[in-house]
Every structure is written in structure tokens, then in C-alpha cells.
Amino acid sequence: MDAPGPVTADDVGLAVRLSAAALRLVPADGWDEAAGPLTWSRWETAEHLADDLFAYAAQLGSPDPSSTAHVPFGLRRRTPGGPANTVFVERSEGPEGLLRVLEASGALLVAMVRVTAPELRSHHVFGASDAEGFGAMGVVEALVHTHDMTACLDPGRQPPADLCARVLHRLFPHAPTDAEPWPALLWSTGRLELPGRPRLTAWRWYGEPRR
């Protein structure tokens, strides 16, 4: 089977647009409810997603990035057990403010993936990665966390299969090939079980560029 092609800046932009559109389905009083299987609320999960997109863009921002450490922005938790973020949103700005922050963080990652030299490598705990890899990480975060937050509101929602196939190829070399790309991505990130494959209780991706 032919490789599905690289993950691009356009893929990151698409994933962020799909996420923002789906999150606009969340009712105004639903943002403090748990995000699917997570212990975080939908609001906390959306902040975490925005923070991830921002952090991945930042890892690509230095002309001489570290191969052993993240860019050392300060991190804190707003609530016990909540995500440790750099990016937070003023609650007084409401869901539209939250989504503007998400879209802005996504735009930063789109821009950095588009302009970063392909030979650059920067630290990630799951393997020093290139711009394509950080873009793929952003796509996975957007698709999977949006599923966490909205699956109960729109059960039939599925992102494009070709988009899922590209990030699976880039980050999950051991993903099942006998399942459709979206269920395979959810299985690879511990969200569901597949026939003959129990739900994963621990998972990771592989950031190093594939050869």
C-alpha cells in the first residue's frame, strides 16, 4: 500500500477548523461537564488543546532548538488535577473567547509548520521531531480531544479518513492496518477497543521522522 503522504500545514489548519466548528455545538452550560473519558472539564480540555498547539509552535520557533528540553515557559494548574498550561483563557470571555484562543494557537502552529526548514529537529518527550511531526501532533491533539469533548453531542462525527491516515503513518507506526483510519487513531490513543484488540491503557506516538 502506498504511503498516505506527509502531514502539512494545511492539515493542521483543517484539524483546527474542524475542532472549532464541533466545539461550537457545546451548549453554554456544558463547558464545566467532564470531557468524555477525561477527568478534565470541556473548558480545561479546550485550554489544554490550545496550550498544546501553542507549545508545538514554540518548539519550532528557535533557529537553534534544544534536542533535550522544551522551551521553558512557565506552567501552572488552575485547579487541582487540571492540566498544567502556559495558555489560559479568561472565563469572562466565554466560549467564543475560548475558541478564539484555540484558533489563534492553531494559526501559530500552521505558520511554523509552513515556514520551518525540514531539517530542523526539536525536543519532544516522545522523540525529537521535525515540523511535520509537530504538525501531526497538533492534528492528533485536535481530533482526539475534540472527540473527547463532543462525541456525546455528535456521535456520528468523523474527521476525514485521509487526514487520519497521514497522522497514523507519521506518528503511530504500529497502528492497526485492518481498521478504518479514524477508529485506528482512536484505538492508538486509548479511546476505544477494536475487534481482537483491547483498549490501550498506555500509549504513545513516535515523533522521530520516519525514514
Would 115 be classed as within a structural domain?
Answer: yes
pLDDT, tens digit (0-9, with 9 covering 90-100), for 46-88: 999 999 999 999 999 988 888 788 999 999 999 999 999 999 9
Whether pLDDT at 1 is above 60: no
Would 125 be classed as within a structural domain?
Answer: yes
2 pLDDT band (50/70/90 cuts)? confident
Q: Tell me what pLDDT residue 65 has.
A: 86
Give the angle subtended at the CA of 201 by the CAs of 208 and 88, to the nearest 5°.
Answer: 70
Number of folded domains that form the chain = 1
Residue with cell string 480545561: 44
Percentage of the residues of the chain whose pLDDT score is greater than 90: 92
Of the candidates 26, 55, 31, which has an alpha carbon nearest to the alpha carbon of residue 41? 31
Q: Tell me what pLDDT residue 68 has.
A: 84
Would 194 be classed as within a structural domain?
Answer: no
What's the mean pLDDT in 180-203? 97
Long-range contacts from 8-12, C-beta under 8 angstroms, 24+ separation: 8/113, 8/132, 8/135, 9/110, 9/111, 9/113, 9/114, 9/135, 10/110, 11/135, 11/136, 11/139, 11/163, 11/166, 11/167, 12/106, 12/109, 12/110, 12/113, 12/135, 12/138, 12/139, 12/142
pLDDT, tens digit (0-9, with 9 covering 90-100), for 99-142: 999 999 999 999 999 999 999 999 999 999 999 999 999 999 99
pLDDT, tens digit (0-9, with 9 covering 90-100), for 144-188: 999 999 999 988 899 999 999 999 999 999 999 999 999 999 999
Task: Output the pTM of the full model.
Answer: 0.96
Q: Tell me what pLDDT residue 63 has.
A: 85
Instruction: Please report, for the domain that includes residue 36, its CATH number.
Output: 1.20.120.450
Q: Tell me what pLDDT residue 123 has.
A: 95
Domain range holding 106? 9-158
Q: Tell me what pLDDT residue 211 has.
A: 67
Would 164 be classed as within a structural domain?
Answer: no
